[in-house]
Amino acid sequence: MQLSDKVTGALLIALGGVTAYGASLQPGVPGQDVGPSVFPAVIGLGLMGCGAMIAFGVGHSFEAPDDTIPAEPGETVPRPPRFAEWRAFLAPLLLVLYVLVSETLGFLITAAICILVMTRALGGSWRLAVALALLGPVGLHLAFYELLRVPLPDGLLALPW
Amino acid sequence: MTPISRRGVLLGAAALPLAGTALARPALAQTRYPVRPLQLICPWGAGGGTDATARIVASLLERELGQPVNVVNRTGGSGVVGHAAINASNPDGYTIGIITVEITMMHWQGLTPLTYADYTPLGLVNRDAPGVQVSASAPYKDIKALAEAIKAAPPGKLKASGTGQGGIWHLALVGWLQAMGLKPDHVRWVPSNGAAPGMQDLVAGGIDIVPCSIPEARAMLDAGRARSLAIMAPQRDPLFPDIPTLKESLGVEYQTAVWRGIGGPPKLPAEIAAKLTAALEKVAKSEQYAEFMKSRGFGMDWADGAGFGKVMAETDKAMGEAMRAAGLAKS
Amino acid sequence: MSDLIDGFIMVGQMDVLVAILLSAIYGLVVGSLPGLSATMATALLVPVTFYLSPIAAVATIISASAMAIFSGDIPGCLLRIPGTPASAAYTDEAYAMTRKGQAEMALGIGLWFSAIGGIVGTLSLMVMAPALAEVALNFSSFEYFWLAVLGLMCATLVARSSPVKAIASMLLGLLFSCIGMENPAGAPRFTFGMTDLLGGIEPLPALVGVFALSEVMRALATAEPPPLPRRKFGSILAGQWSLTRRFQWPMWRGNVVGIIIGVLPGAGADMAAWVSYALSKRFSKTPEKFGTGHPEGLVEAGASNNASLASGWVPALLFGIPGDTITAIAIGVLYMKGLNPGPTLFTERASSMYALYIIFILANIIMIPLGILMIRLATRVLRAPRASIMPVILMLCAMGAFATGNNLFAILLVGFFGVLGYIMERNGYPVAALVLGIVMGSMVEQSFVTSLIKSDNSLLPFFERPISAVLATITLAALLWPVAAWLIRRRRRAPRRPAPQGG
């Protein structure tokens, strides 16, 4: 998701504009002269200002160069996996999946699915993935449900204790 | 505000499998209640006053019912999320919750469609009336002197604080001013994040009055930094017998309070409700409960389900009036 | 004197000692899990304190919170996932040391200087509590406004990035802090009709998202890096002693700043760490080394946040005013156990007070051996393959956020902030500044609006009150100095080199 400064700057300008507009819609409050609209409006204007400066490249010289160590001659640089940019979004998608199904399937099953998918996506062997998917949820359940008293949903499968 | 929030849909989806298991279970489960652990939902975060009350009630209720009662903090949305969760829970008696005075305020502000009528009241367990606190260095000797100073001051000159805009203590101030025949904004409200910062600002000289509950002001009162001139209650608080009521000292008939009570979702079967109310009454009248409430300085009070329902209805009406007067109500 | 001896006897009880040890281990473990904060560790202890004697109950809170604040540095240092907002300020620095193979050293700094900060903070609590409390009481919303602005300005100092992008990130954080109805007007803002947004964006899910989840996302997008060089690392403590001598001055400055900020209710350990790290960079002889794995900032910020933890108890014990979320919980426990906060606690119940001091110091001392054990164990994480660590961290992110309010919405927030943090990071926007904005946002607005109400819309008291005037001067100087320096440098440099192009 590397975007040019022009794009992110423009996005900030747009966001600032929407914020300032949204702030102007806030109704006043009796007894307060500085109402709920002032603070967001200032932020919106600030975002627009910063966005413009970023789009025009102000302050770019301060950015630290990427501190990746250059590969030594002969050393093979590990290649990023295929669809690298899109694979990253697997993690937040799994969280959304968790939110959607954990109440029905229960914590143990949902967590096992998430761990299995993640381990495979990171290049772990099937053996590791299955072992983690079996042991991980039980360990987490012990720590959170038993010790910290967090009410995790049972769903279809509950632990016997 | 859409009447069906996304969370409501989620909760509905979550309740489906539960409803399924309840149906599958034979009806005789009703006769032997409770047979598994209960959940007590607390709409406020761990460590606060409501959480502490919920936990002591839960631990004593556990002894009465013979089943574990687990406190579950369901926070978010300034209390709306937790209250909605109590309302949307399965009416099988295994999920109840601690309901706070905010339920009579939030719907007037248009924050939630839920009102006090969306619960089965089981019992009131605590009630605290606000006091009128001023700084120890303030010139007002008693509530009369303060009332006269308020009347003599131009509108907006004196400032009060102790909670957010439209919060319970703001409305207590509004109600008191109105009872004295003054405009609701005669004393200007300075919003704060709770009573403790308000009391600090009172002592720092930033504001003039903090109408928060006496337990919240207690540390500053004990430190001799602030004084409580009157309490907005029908009678004096046995824990603080030196503080006169508004009526006896000023002749103004005004009273309000925050309260906490236990409630369940609507359509809770009558026999389960009766059993819970009976257990709660034993809890509220137990020695341990009295000891705990005394140590925290919280006001003891007990009302059964019907009585709690009446308290909620009365508060709801009073809050609606105060909020409309202050221009805070949406509906 | 007999009070002091009584205090020792009270702490010497078996149940108190066991409570300290167990809660210390508990605090270390909970704090070290990414996504679980010191506040949560403390909150979850409250039901346990029901069954303890008064001194033991308070002892569990004190030792668990001190341990959790330290061990919050562990995931930050090893995986670039800060455990608490307090450690977010210097996470990048600690992680840079880890990448140089100095993980034990970085964690050792956290441990050693945390313990020193905690002990110095306690001593200040013993000697100056009433005096410090007076300072706290003189802080009104006018002073808090300047303090909040100063805190926000740390954003540009802390990040190794374009100052414009740092400010943009901070503004974005401020924008998130606007969401909900926890604003001075009590008006629901930018909630889009969602109940879950009424209460606003909690800092913890945002922190977990931008740091932990985005780290997991980066792991998915990049190939497995070559394993870190394994260096033999001797005694963790030996190195600390030479650092203590080398960075004596920053350490003391960190302690003092931490004590002062800690005493102010509402500021707390988060802000102490940020301000101290920024100060350290500002006054360092080698500011260019900051962010590349340089111990100086860690020394100062580590000392500062634990010092503030101890001094945060001053307003809590004297006036029942919580200094931060941890002391807010502690006040509840104090009341419940009959140790009512107030000046009488210092006079009539002096032996209990001494017992509290002794517990503070004891907790900070046993932190060192327990912490070393924890560091030795935790650094094994670095040698485990990514495929076995990251899935577990993903689940911990979800669980930790969920546990803050048992609300699934918090998990969605983690997801959102993870994506945001990932994109920001790739484009050179510092995510730490975003967190700072979220943490400090409501304080800026609240203090500004309430100040104006109190002064009937006059701006004068912002500059008139003595403490306020001092803070205003510092703020304006700090604000104008970099601009002036930049202009001078630009003018000097301009003829030689054309201004850099954007893009």
- Domain total of chain C: 1
Contact pairs from chain B to chain C, CB under 8 Å: 178
**CATH of residue B42:** 3.40.190.150
**Mean per-residue pLDDT for C86-96?**
85
Rounded Cα distance, C133 and C291, in Å: 36
Identify whether B15 is part of a domain. Answer: no
- Per cent of chain B over pLDDT 90 is 52
Report chain B residues whose CB lies below 8 A from the CB of A155. Answer: 17
- Please provide residue B100's backbone torsions phi and psi, each rounded to the nearest 5 degrees: -115, 170
Identify whether C182 is part of a domain. Answer: yes
Structure tokens at C336: 């419940």
Chain C touched by B205 (CB under 8 Å): yes
Report chain B residues whose CB lies below 8 A from the CB of C344. Answer: 222
Clarify whether residues B70 and B103 are in a common domain. yes
Q: Do C387 and A122 lie within an 8 Å CB cutoff?
A: yes
Kindly give, in sequence order, each residue whose CB lies less than 8 Å from that of residue A84, ignoring residues fewer than 6 positions away: C221, C222
Rounded Cα distance, B70 and B210, in Å: 35
Give the pLDDT of residue C495: 53
Burial code (b: 16+ CB inside 10 Å, e: under 16) for C412-441 equals: bbbbbbbbbbbbbbbbbbbbbbbbbbbbbb
Bridge partners of B161, per DSSP, are B190
Segments forming the whole domain that contains residue B54: 37-128+257-325
Query: Rounded to a whole number, what is the distance in angstroms from the first to the last CA of chain C?
Result: 70
The average confidence (pLDDT) of chain A is 84
Give the pLDDT of residue A110: 95
Q: Which of B84, B207, B292 sits opposite C195 (nearest CB)?
A: B84
pLDDT in tens, B177-201: 999 999 988 999 998 888 888 888 8
Identify whether B227 is part of a domain. Answer: yes
Give the pLDDT of residue B331: 60
Give the pLDDT of residue B316: 93
Q: Do A136 and C445 lie within an 8 Å CB cutoff?
A: no
Identify whether C70 is part of a domain. Answer: yes
Identify whether C495 is part of a domain. Answer: no
Q: Do A36 and C183 lie within an 8 Å CB cutoff?
A: yes
Q: At what angle do helices C163-178 and C141-158 cross, to 10 degrees?
A: 140
Q: Which of C386, C395, C403 sits opposite A111 (nearest CB)?
A: C395
pLDDT in tens, C1-25: 678 888 888 888 888 999 999 999 9
Q: Return the residue of A nearest to B188 by Cα.
A: A31
Strands, E assignment, B110-264: 120-128, 131-135, 159-161, 188-190, 226-231, 258-264
Clarify whether residues B134 and B244 are in a common domain. yes
Instruction: Look up residue C237 and give its DSSP letter.
Output: H
Report chain C residues whose CB lies below 8 A from the CB of B74. Answer: 405-407
C117 vs B193, residue with greater confidence = C117
pLDDT in tens, C190-203: 888 888 888 888 88
**Mean per-residue pLDDT for B64-85?**
87
Q: Do A30 and B327 lie within an 8 Å CB cutoff?
A: yes
- Please provide residue A4's backbone torsions phi and psi, each rounded to the nearest 5 degrees: -75, 160
- Please provide residue B122's backbone torsions phi and psi, each rounded to the nearest 5 degrees: -115, -35
Identify whether B330 is part of a domain. Answer: no
Q: How far is B28 from chain C (nearest CA, A)?
A: 32
Structure tokens at A24: 């102007």
- Please provide residue C153's backbone torsions phi and psi, each rounded to the nearest 5 degrees: -70, -20
Lowest mean pLDDT among B58-67, C237-246, C358-367: C237-246
- Please provide residue B237's backbone torsions phi and psi, each rounded to the nearest 5 degrees: -80, 125
Identify whether B21 is part of a domain. Answer: no
Q: Do C46 and B48 lie within an 8 Å CB cutoff?
A: no
Helix, strand, coil share of chain C (percent; to 5): 75, 0, 25
Give the pLDDT of residue C329: 82
Question: Which has the closest alpha carbon to B185: B211, B155, B219, B209?
Answer: B155
pLDDT in tens, C145-169: 998 888 888 877 766 678 889 899 9
pLDDT in tens, C440-475: 888 888 889 889 888 888 888 889 888 889 889 988
Q: Do B72 and A31 lie within an 8 Å CB cutoff?
A: no
Give the pLDDT of residue C183: 82
Lowest mean pLDDT among B45-54, B189-198, C418-427: B45-54
Q: How far is C457 from chain A (nearest CA, A)?
A: 8
**What subunits make at least 3 CB pairs under 8 angstroms with C?**
A, B
| Domain final residue pick, B195, B227, B250 | B250
Structure tokens at C494: 């301009």
Clarify whether residues B122 and B271 are in a common domain. yes
Chain C touched by B158 (CB under 8 Å): no
Give the pLDDT of residue C25: 92
Clarify whether residues B178 and B210 are in a common domain. yes
Kindly give, in sequence order, each residue whose CB lies less than 8 Å from that of residue C387, ignoring residues fewer than 6 positions away: A119, A122, A123, A124, A128, A129, C224
Q: How far is C112 from chain A (nearest CA, A)?
A: 28
| Domain final residue pick, B234, B250, B266 | B250
**Mean per-residue pLDDT for A103-130?**
93
**CATH of residue B152:** 3.40.190.10
Rounded Cα distance, C282 and C276, in Å: 10
The alpha-carbon radius of gyration of chain A (Å, integer) is 24
Identify whether C395 is part of a domain. Answer: yes
Confidence of residue C213 (pLDDT cuts 50, 70, 90): very high
Give the pLDDT of residue A150: 82
Rounded Cα distance, C263 and C319, in Å: 12
Rounded Cα distance, B71 and B57, in Å: 9
Confidence of residue B4 (pLDDT cuts 50, 70, 90): very low
On the CB side of C400, CA atoms within 13 Å amount to 34
Q: At what angle do helices C386-405 and C38-49 cross, to 10 degrees?
A: 60
Identify whether B63 is part of a domain. Answer: yes
Q: Which of A3, A91, A98 sits opposite C217 (nearest CB)?
A: A91
**Mean per-residue pLDDT for C52-80?**
88
Rounded Cα distance, A90 and C214, in Å: 11
Tell whether the model's pLDDT for residue A93 goes beyond 90: yes
**What is the residue-wise DSSP string for A29-73?**
BTTBSS-TTHHHHHHHHHHHHHHHHHHTTTTGGGSPPP-PPPPPT
Tell whether the model's pLDDT for residue B27 goes beyond 50: no
Report chain B residues whose CB lies below 8 A from the CB of C50. Answer: 55-56, 59
Give the pLDDT of residue A161: 61
Ramachandran bin of B187, using left for φ above 0, alpha for ψ from -120 to 50, beta for the remaining angles:
beta
Give the pLDDT of residue A79: 59
Segments forming the whole domain that contains residue C325: 2-489
Rounded Cα distance, B256 and C43, in Å: 31
Give the pLDDT of residue B266: 93
Report chain C residues whose CB lies below 8 A from the CB of A124. Answer: 385, 387-388
Q: Return the residue of A nearest to C426 by Cα.
A: A2
Q: Which of A32, A103, A155 sits opposite B13 (nearest CB)?
A: A103
Tell whether the model's pLDDT for residue C499 goes beyond 50: no
Give the pLDDT of residue B124: 95
Q: Which of C186, C388, C418 sits opposite A128 (nearest CB)?
A: C388
Helix, strand, coil share of chain B (percent; to 5): 45, 20, 35
Kindly give, in sequence order, each residue whose CB lies less than 8 Å from that of residue B159, ignoring residues fewer than 6 positions away: B187, B188, B189, B190, B206, B207, B208, B209, C453, C454
Contact pairs from chain A to chain C, CB under 8 Å: 224
Give the pLDDT of residue B150: 94
Rounded Cα distance, C374 and C110, in Å: 12
Identify whether C496 is part of a domain. Answer: no
Structure tokens at C121: 């903070």
Structure tokens at C232: 């033999």
Clarify whether residues B80 and B91 are in a common domain. yes
Lowest mean pLDDT among B75-84, B114-123, B147-156: B75-84
- On the 0-12 / 13-18 / 19+ scale of CB atoms within 10 A, B77 is buried
Give the pLDDT of residue C230: 60
Specify the amino acid at residue A82.
R
- Beta strand B131-135 with B120-128 is unpaired
Identify whether B331 is part of a domain. Answer: no
**Mean per-residue pLDDT for C350-373?**
90
Rounded Cα distance, C310 and C125, in Å: 7
Chain A touched by B308 (CB under 8 Å): no
Report chain C residues whose CB lies below 8 A from the CB of A105. Answer: none
**Mean per-residue pLDDT for A22-43?**
84
Chain C touched by B323 (CB under 8 Å): no
Structure tokens at B302: 């007990």
Highest mean pLDDT among A76-90, C104-118, C312-326: C104-118
| Domain final residue pick, B215, B250, B285 | B250
**Mean per-residue pLDDT for A75-97?**
78
pLDDT in tens, C270-298: 788 888 988 888 888 888 888 888 888 88
Give the pLDDT of residue C78: 87
Kindly give, in sequence order, each residue whose CB lies less than 8 Å from that of residue C121, ignoring residues fewer than 6 positions away: C255, C258, C259, C262, C306, C307, C308, C309, C310, C311, C360
Clarify whether residues B143 and B68 are in a common domain. no
**What subunits make at least 3 CB pairs under 8 angstroms with A?**
B, C
Rounded Cα distance, C270 and C206, in Å: 15
Identify whether C500 is part of a domain. Answer: no
Rounded Cα distance, B69 and B278, in Å: 16
- Domain total of chain B: 2
Specify the amino acid at residue A5.
D
Clarify whether residues B217 and B239 are in a common domain. yes
Rounded Cα distance, A115 and A26, in Å: 44
B61 vs C126, residue with greater confidence = B61
Q: Do B39 and A151 lie within an 8 Å CB cutoff?
A: yes
Kindly give, in sequence order, each residue whose CB lies less than 8 Å from that of residue B168, ignoring residues fewer than 6 positions away: B101, B102, B105, B258
